Structure 1
Amino acid sequence: MSKNRKLKEAGNTNMTVVLKKARTLEPKNPNKSTGIFGGKSSGILNWNDIAYPHWYQIYKKLLGNYWQADEINMSSDIRQFPELTKDEQDAYLKIIGLLSTLDAPQTRTALLLSLYATDPSVQSIMAVISQQEAVHNESYSYVLSSVVSLDEQNKSFELGRTDPVLLKRNERIIKVYNEFAENPTIKNILKVMVYTSLLEGMFFYSGFAFFYNLARNNKMVGTSTMISYINRDELEHGRYIGELFRATLAENPEYNTEAFNEWVYDAFRHSVEQEINWSRYVLAHVDGIDLDEMEGYIKYRANKMLRMLGLSEIYDGYFDNPMKWIRAYVDNFDGTKTDFFEQKSRAYTKVSDLNGFDDL
């Protein structure tokens, strides 16, 4: 039997194999994993002897981004929120509702991926990502508790399961994530990584743009500062998920088919359409954001995430960021925390009481 035929038959078999959760310790197996998913490993992690050595630097960079929501002073936002226009207030609450809806499953999804990973370095990196996603979720509760009543907070968090535009936007994400939870195959893991990449690298960005637009007008700077920390985390998560996707595909070449690539492209096209619809729904009456530029920015982000997954761009002419002003908030992240609209370094403004109420 030819090598190609053997590979094809093995691939067809593996397509339907349901993965078992990785064992905690298997001393008979080598410390260096033989595969990211479905491989063999003792479960003992020696960062100096892992299958993908540069992932240690990713782990260290993720750790270096540590922050906590209640270290951000919200006192000026508390004063400013009632001064926002009604449209700005509505957009603020809807976008926080969106972000909380999208970030909420990321904590669990990262943990689920780690449970089926047989490479202990992947388990550790996904544990850090999961912790950071938990912080993101806490931060949305923190900012809302600063500016609106508990009833208004609850209404914002209800949007993810009641708003028809959000429900339509999220239905494919829900389907892919739940299919993986119920049927953990390599193919479903790859699909989850595609949608995780979309979440980390594109779905959040019209929401981020809204808060950055407020900040450049010296409004709600505490909220935008928190969003910039979330944004920085998501950029690193997206980079790693892109690497994990490519490495998993390289280890399982039977999935690297035209049919699967077309599935990925279709997921991106559909997601871009939904993100554009959402941005026009939630930002229509917000001054300072050009919706045509926003559409171009979404397509630019989609092209960028496709390259990270090792695929070709699908939107001609969207290779540079069309929203030049947002670069100060998105493209210039380094190890220094800054007030981006002022472009000067600062340390965290830590508050001793909840949300800085003593500063009022």
Structure 2
Amino acid sequence: MEKLLKKATVLEPENPNRSTALFGGKASGILNWNDIAYPHFYDYREQIRALFWRASEVDMTHDVKQFPSLSAGEQNAFLKIIGLLATLDGPQTDIAMRISHYSTDPSVKSIMATIADQESEHNHSYAYVLSSVATLDLQIASFETGRRDPVLLKRNERIMKVYNEFAEHPTILNVLKTMVYSALLEGLYFYSGFAFFYHLARHQKMVGTSAMISYINRDELQHGRFISELFRATLAENPEYNTETFIDWVYGQFRHAVEQETIWSRYILKDIDGIDLTEMEGYIQYRANKMLRLLGLSDLYENRTENPMKWIRAYVDNFDGTKTDFFEQKSRQYIKVGDLNGFDEL
């Protein structure tokens, strides 16, 4: 049986300030950003911290007036997609903290604490949106979607299994698997839902909600970048897990996630005029390829290197996509296939 990780101690002055490993190592618990094992983690910290915002800052005045005029299909999709997002972002707050608890690198703990806080605000933002436009009964029903909708329950089976396995058996392998699913969640699972809100905004509907979603989307992009980098660094420190079996597992999870996201998009968007579901499937595959490259792997889907839904870019804030050469003091052989080629625009 694989050795269980222990929760990192809070303060151990006899250990060095610079951690000896991301997980299962030693560190004093004292964080000196000028003396950390992975100096470029500071850049991620600054990028993520720069994204601070609050849901209450978004003006929902026009959305309150527009929601009753949406078609029945649009209202249904609106409420169910909010339910989906809440189903994922609530547990994501928890999983970020659980990763933090078992990391023996204080810089990772600090960054994951910020990510957890932002995920908490995302979850709050869904309640804020619904409280602005819907009755209390509809709000409660929307948040029940993740517990009752059979398509959504099927869609979330594997992420629930992987996250709960990590919670019950915190091992290096399970934390690696959890980071894969965290990257999937941040970089793929939300995106047909995000596209729906951008589609509404494209037609001058629910623009306040779309602005809120763009802030969340921007956060998730940065979270996905860091989680993917943490995955690659953890695998580099634990090369015994860098096997064909594990890499095949990762590819298998991506294939399954794309299938489920495609099924979900066809289910939830089938009554929405103006959204091309075939184009949406291509967009989902494009997102999967991008996240695989972030993890250091190769594309799964041929001819999906360009975003087939280019109009979406207008609704997402730009961010720093500079292709910096990271890990200058570390081995670059993170995974046997491919190399990180940067993180360009959405």
**TM-score scaled by length of structure 2:** 0.92
Deviations 1:131-180 (A, max 9, x none): 00000000000000001111000000001010000000000010000000
Counterpart amino acid of residue 228 in structure 1? S
Counterpart amino acid of residue 28 in structure 2? S
> How far apart are the structure 2 equivalents of 1:257 and 1:203?
26
> How far apart are the structure 2 equivalents of 1:27 and 1:317?
53
Partner of 1:89: 75
1:185-204 maps to which residues of 2 (within 5 A)?
A: 185-204=171-190
Instruction: Kindly indicate whether the alpha-carbon contact (under 8 Å) linking 2:214 and 2:317 is maintained by their aligned counterparts in 1.
Output: no
> How far apart are the structure 2 equivalents of 1:122 and 1:239?
13
Instruction: Kindly indicate whether the alpha-carbon contact (under 8 Å) linking 2:218 and 2:317 is maintained by their aligned counterparts in 1.
Output: no
Deviations 1:329-353 (A, max 9, x none): 2473469xxxxxxxxxxxxxxxxxx
> How far apart are the structure 2 equivalents of 1:230 and 1:206?
14
1:112-261 maps to which residues of 2 (within 5 A)?
A: 112-261=98-247
Counterpart amino acid of residue 173 in structure 1? I
Deviation at 1:61, TM superposition (A): 1.2
Matched, 1:20 2:6: yes
1:29-108 maps to which residues of 2 (within 5 A)?
A: 29-108=15-94
Partner of 1:339: none
Partner of 1:315: 301
Instruction: Kindly indicate whether the alpha-carbon contact (under 8 Å) linking 2:5 and 2:171 is maintained by their aligned counterparts in 1.
Output: yes
> How far apart are the structure 2 equivalents of 1:242 and 1:274?
21
Instruction: Kindly indicate whether the alpha-carbon contact (under 8 Å) linking 2:197 and 2:213 is maintained by their aligned counterparts in 1.
Output: yes
> How far apart are the structure 2 equivalents of 1:258 and 1:60?
35
1:270-309 maps to which residues of 2 (within 5 A)?
A: 270-309=256-295
Counterpart amino acid of residue 60 in structure 1? E
Secondary structure in 1 matching 2:259:
helix
Matched, 1:268 2:254: yes
Counterpart amino acid of residue 41 in structure 1? A
> How far apart are the structure 2 equivalents of 1:329 and 1:296?
19
Partner of 1:346: none
Q: Which runs of 5+ in 2 are unaligned?
A: 322-346
Secondary structure in 2 matching 1:179:
helix
**TM-score scaled by length of structure 1:** 0.88
Q: Which runs of 5+ in 1 are unaligned?
A: 1-14, 336-360
> How far apart are the structure 2 equivalents of 1:207 and 1:43?
39
Deviations 1:73-117 (A, max 9, x none): 100000000011111000000100000001110000000000000
Aligned identity (percent) is: 70
Of 178-187 and 324-333, more deviation after overlay is shown by 324-333
> How far apart are the structure 1 equivalents of 2:298 and 2:161?
25
> How far apart are the structure 2 equivalents of 1:251 and 1:77?
49
Secondary structure in 1 matching 2:39:
coil
Residues 1:276 and 1:243: Cα distance change in structure 2 (over 3 Å): same
Partner of 1:329: 315
Equivalent residue pairs, number: 321
